[in-house]
Structure 1
Amino acid sequence: MEKLKQSMGGFVGTFVALSTILGSGMMILPGMSYHRLDTAAWQPWAIAALSVIPLLYCYAWLGRRHPAASGVAHYAEVALGKPVGRTSGMLAALALVTGIPATAITGGFYLAEFSGIGVLAWVFPLLVLVGATFVAAAGASFSGRLQVGLILALFALILATAVAAIGEHGPRPPALEVPGIGALGSVLTAVYVAFTGWETVAFTFEEHKRSDLIPRIFAASYVIVITLYGLLLLGLFAAVDSGEDALESAPLLVLADRAFGDLGRPAAAVLVVACITANVCASVLALSRLVFGMARSGFLPAALSRVRAHDRNPITAVVAVGCVLTVIAVLGAMDLFPFEFLFILSGGVYFVLYGVGAAAFTRLASGPSRIAVGAVCAVVVVGVTVIAGPSMWLSWAVFAVTLLVVVLVARFSRRAAVATPAADDPTPALRETTREKT
């Protein structure tokens, strides 16, 4: 069985996690939520941030003890059976295949808004996805080093922008009134995209040198992510009116403009390009590992499990992933389907996979933590599903339908294999000869 090379340390692993998380969730969702809920926008972010803590614990535990390229698909298969594992892998691929192009398109919208050149809305997604494919083809070590530099620059620019905006315009307190359940639920489903990425990072765990550092990587990246999201929301509250339409497409450009004037917008454009590039590079790397792992397990064509000899990089999976994502991004940028639908579908499916990971943890762990964490996860999953409303219910329906199809196809395949003997199997001929002699 093909194995990936263990080349990633804890420091690079933390920045790969940050690259995977800090993408479109930071670029567009703070503005979208503020535009729709005004200063009550912090509420869906707080719900999402708190609710993922026990689920992250589950994934950190699973990653430390079961590092595998197929991530949640492997955990689910070991704990809950092959049909659930295959379903989880397919839905994880669906979430990434919709989420990565949405992130790239977000970058295109930002650049088009900044420059006034509308063609960048689809040219940038094409360029960044092709570039990310080449980066992933170069290997995990090269990709990780690139992401360290991009995320450090991103962190510095976001911190400076948010602090300057608050200092220039003064803080504005968040609203305590709870918005309507429908509005809160739809925003909450989209906001979950901003708290996804840790389950995606799990697809790179097979390449970590020390799996015992995975819980620390999760903890450090969570604290940094929460800090940055909080600063962005407070900066928007202070400096931008919630009625501005640009909040739906380029909120960081508006925030930088209010914080630094004309000098802020070019810096914000560089920030956006760096963030989107880092996120897409990390996500393409992770998706290629998922595809490799599923192919190795027999869920996808075996050709996708081939690795390059000198660095153990699954180059066939990398190229296949890059081609599919590029096509979807171009179609999405051309408005052939609703752009926001990509975020909602991706966020909902990611949350379902958090629930699957929690169920796998409950089956595989032992001791008092298993019962306590499992119970908290169950409350979180049910509670958030109810609050989020139809958009989240749709994601669970997609999981149920996919699982049913996987089970039916598996049963049909087994029956067909039993009913149709192999061409080189002599058993039927021997039976017929025996009947004739008798």
Structure 2
Amino acid sequence: MEKDVRRRPHGTRRLGVLTGSVLLLGAVLGPGALSLPTLAADAAGPASLLAWALLLLAGIPVAATFAALGGTFPDGGGVAHFASLAFGGRTAGAASWWFLAAVPLGVTAAALMGGHYVAAAVGADPGVAVGVGLGLLAASFALNAVGLHTTGRVQVVTAAVMVTLLVVTVAVSLGDVRAGSFTPFAPHGWSGVGVAATVLFFAFAGWEAAAHLSADFADPGRGLRRATALTVTVVVVLYLGLAVVTLGVLGPAAGRDPAPLLTLLQRAVGPAGTAPATVAALLLTFGAINAYLASGARLGAALGRDGALPRWLVGRTTPGREPRRSLAFLAACCLVVAVPVLGGVVALDGLVRATSALLAAVTLVGTLAGVRLLRGRQRTTAVVASAFLAVVLLCCGALLALPAAVGAVAALTERRRRASRRPAPARP
């Protein structure tokens, strides 16, 4: 552990509890908060509150596990680093591939969420939502290509805007909550709660970000744990409050409203709520897309460097240069994802569930690494977190084929790479 710390540039480990908490909020309070209440309500009705409560409660051991891993083994490599320590390079490679596959699905879904908010605000048709979403993607790809990716300062601004928006929305909407809006409680049966849980995991896949931030804390052990505890408290209060007012105010319409936050603000304060909600949604969406593309492009280039992906396709990491070839690869993947969306073959909830399945697999690898690497109460917490994530994966149903297929391709590529490095047998 000391060796890893010494390799960090001087002066980079300076995050305190407050700054670290805000950065973690930026990762967890992503654009999913904009549309997930609608998707969950559509899947389970008022019973989606159980899915929210379950994920919030179970997210505590997940967050604690990554805080413990980051505090014990501080490194910017995140899940791949822990998986490599616990299980070796093959498992770390599979986790890397899962995350890379989730990037084009996730950023396309996030872009559409932002686009739907703009379309709802100006009263435009769904075509405008798709156009705005593709515009957000194009702008983020352009900025990443010239090196202007999201910085810690932008993440702080983004998190502050989102927290303010959620607090204001919940506060001004509580008075309009009606008990009758929660009946019937489970219109789609109890199986809908499981479906809602897999959708909502999209909003809880940011806890592993604590691991990436660990080496930047002034005190990775105590500081990261305190920042995580503060973040968990804020997230539980905000998300539960948002779920209650969305269902309690909108009633059956909660499952059909593409922009619930916007609708709630307009009901509470009138047209004055439109502009701030729209600007906040765009800022939050763009920040999340930018961050995921920056991480995904660098991961793709690293896989090219290691031979896990063809270098002609994704390039390789080079100090001081942006991974433009890897960005171009991700752009092509986003276009492939966008085509069935434009054709009406794939809906937004399909992209969200596919992304959730991949990210749940990545997160499960991280918590299983915690079972292997941690001791005492921390190991017990990792066991609980792993059990929860295993249930989430099972609820993904047929979508389990996606991480299975990506993992199989990763394993096959790794096998071929190892075979190509073996020396040829000597001729007699």
TM-score computed with the length of structure 2 as normaliser: 0.83
Q: Which residue of 1 aligns with 2:65?
A: 58
SS at structure 1 position matched to 2:208: helix
Cα distance in 2 for partners of 1:75, 1:12 equals 24
Say whether 1:307 aligns with 2:319: yes
Q: Please show how residues 315-326 of structure 1 align to structure 2 within 5 Å.
A: 315-316=323-324, 319-320=327-328, 323-324=331-332
Q: Which residue of 2 aligns with 1:163?
A: 171
SS at structure 1 position matched to 2:151: helix
Cα distance in 2 for partners of 1:317, 1:68 equals 26
2:51 to 24, 38, 44: 44
CA deviations over 1:381-406 (Å, ceiling 9, x no partner) = 344445x2625xx32x4444444444
Cα distance in 2 for partners of 1:334, 1:254 equals 25
Structure 2 contact 308–417 (Cα < 8 Å) conserved? no
Q: Which residue of 2 aligns with 1:263?
A: 272
Report the Cα offset of residue 246 of structure 1. 4.0
Cα distance in 2 for partners of 1:182, 1:81 equals 37
SS at structure 2 position matched to 1:242: helix
Report the Cα offset of residue 299 of structure 1. 3.3
Say whether 1:350 aligns with 2:362: no
Deviates more, 1:348-357 or 1:377-386: 377-386
Structure 2 contact 30–284 (Cα < 8 Å) conserved? yes
Q: Which residue of 1 aligns with 2:97?
A: 90
Aligned partner letter, 1:78: L
Task: Label 1:290 to 1:87 Cα distance change in 2 as closer, same or farther (>3 A).
Answer: same
Cα distance in 2 for partners of 1:204, 1:223 equals 19
Q: Which residue of 2 aligns with 1:334?
A: 342
Structure 2 contact 15–218 (Cα < 8 Å) conserved? yes
Q: Which residue of 2 aligns with 1:126?
A: 134
SS at structure 2 position matched to 1:241: helix
TM-score computed with the length of structure 1 as normaliser: 0.81
Structure 1 contact 64–214 (Cα < 8 Å) conserved? yes
2:259 to 241, 250, 257: 250
Cα distance in 2 for partners of 1:206, 1:325 equals 31
Q: Which residue of 2 aligns with 1:219?
A: 229
Identity %: 23
Say whether 1:232 aligns with 2:238: no
Task: Label 1:414 to 1:233 Cα distance change in 2 as closer, same or farther (>3 A).
Answer: closer
Cα distance in 1 for partners of 2:22, 2:143 equals 16
Report the Cα offset of residue 377 of structure 1. 2.9
1:241 to 251, 268, 284: 251
Cα distance in 2 for partners of 1:326, 1:293 equals 20
Structure 1 contact 203–289 (Cα < 8 Å) conserved? no
Deviates more, 1:92-101 or 1:292-301: 292-301
Q: Which residue of 2 aligns with 1:99?
A: 106
Structure 2 contact 357–403 (Cα < 8 Å) conserved? no
Task: Label 1:211 to 1:400 Cα distance change in 2 as closer, same or farther (>3 A).
Answer: same
1:196 to 202, 205, 216: 205
Report the Cα offset of residue 226 of structure 1. 1.8
Larger radius of gyration: 1
Aligned partner letter, 1:261: G
* Structure 2 gap segments, 5+ residues each: 1-6
Task: Label 1:409 to 1:160 Cα distance change in 2 as closer, same or farther (>3 A).
Answer: closer
Cα distance in 2 for partners of 1:21, 1:332 equals 28
RMSD: 3.4
Deviates more, 1:158-167 or 1:184-193: 158-167
Cα distance in 2 for partners of 1:61, 1:405 equals 31
SS at structure 1 position matched to 2:71: helix
Task: Label 1:169 to 1:390 Cα distance change in 2 as closer, same or farther (>3 A).
Answer: closer
* Structure 1 gap segments, 5+ residues each: 422-426, 432-438
Deviates more, 1:186-195 or 1:92-101: 92-101
Deviates more, 1:14-23 or 1:157-166: 14-23
Aligned partner letter, 1:217: A
